[in-house]
Amino acid sequence: MLRDFDRVTAERDALQQRLNAADQRIDELERDKHRLDALESNCWDVRFDSSPNGDAGDSSIKIEVVGHWMDQPLERVIGENYSENLRAAIDQAMAAPAYPPARPEYPEPEPDADADWHMNPCKQGHRDVGASGGVAACNQCDEKIEAATTQEAFERWNATHPVVQPIPDQLRDATNMIDALQPERIKGMIETVGGEHAVMIDPENGHYGWTFKKHPDGQWVSGRKATEREMIAARSHAQITNQL
């Protein structure tokens, strides 16, 4: 009696397993059917494009699912895949908006808040510093400056964290020589590190808020209006380098 029970239980479990496997198979096939239906009902093109793979000696295959529209652009890539996965390309097309752009849109990578904000090291000299959410801070020692805006925090950080670097004697002598040869500096004309560009930050000057480029003959030639960020950077650069 007990053996019968065990046998029936084992048979039942085996059947259940087969049923699960069959269900899974049906799900997969159904998904493929939906994909085929989508291609057919939307008249989408599927394009394969191969491009040589440089040194590797083989080629990579790109798959595009292309939809057709009545207005420009007439053809729009609504699904694509670069790893030979046709199903993934079709799935992306099936999830595309009704009037998609010419290419699938991917989420913008988070802009790096301090990408072009060169923050000086903290008071202890740590370089792992950054500014975001109205706070300029050192990530190593918790030193921080809070302000109404991130730009303001950044500006105040650099103003209170000058870069102090010992200059070797030879370099200092050479720098003094170059300074002696330079024509007199224009008040409020803040040069970039390379000395090729400058921003005028003296409100008294008629060119206040403009960018300049150095002409080969040494004259400053005005360019365009400086951006808010360029003005902030120039002001803090001026403060650090005592150009005010």
Q: Confirm or reject binding of residue 63 to Zn ion (CB under 5 A).
A: no
Task: Please calculate the CA angle 88-94-96 and round it to the nearest 5 degrees.
Answer: 105
Do the Cβ atoms of 103 and 76 come closer than 8 Å?
yes
**Window of 36-44, 55-63, 69-77, 114-122 that interacts with Zn ion by CB under 5 A:** 114-122
| Structure tokens, 179 | 């300074």
For Zn ion, the closer of residues 86 and 141 by Cβ is 141
Task: Figure out which of the listed residues 63, 89, 119, 122 binds Zn ion, where binding follows CB under 5 A.
Answer: 122
E strands present in the chain: 45-52, 59-68, 75-81, 129-132, 135-138, 144-146, 189-191, 197-200, 210-214, 220-225
Site string for Zn ion, 41-60 (x = CB under 5 A): --------------------
Q: Confirm or reject binding of residue 140 to Zn ion (CB under 5 A).
A: yes
For Zn ion, the closer of residues 131 and 138 by Cβ is 138
Within residues 141-180, the interface with Zn ion by CB under 5 A covers 141
Q: What residues does 131 pair with on adjacent strands?
A: 136
Measured over all CA atoms, what is the biggest interatomic distance in the chain, rounded to whole angstroms? Answer: 109
Task: Figure out which of the listed residues 31, 68, 126, 225 binds Zn ion, where binding follows CB under 5 A.
Answer: 126
Residues that bind Zn ion (CB under 5 A): 122, 124, 126, 138, 140-141
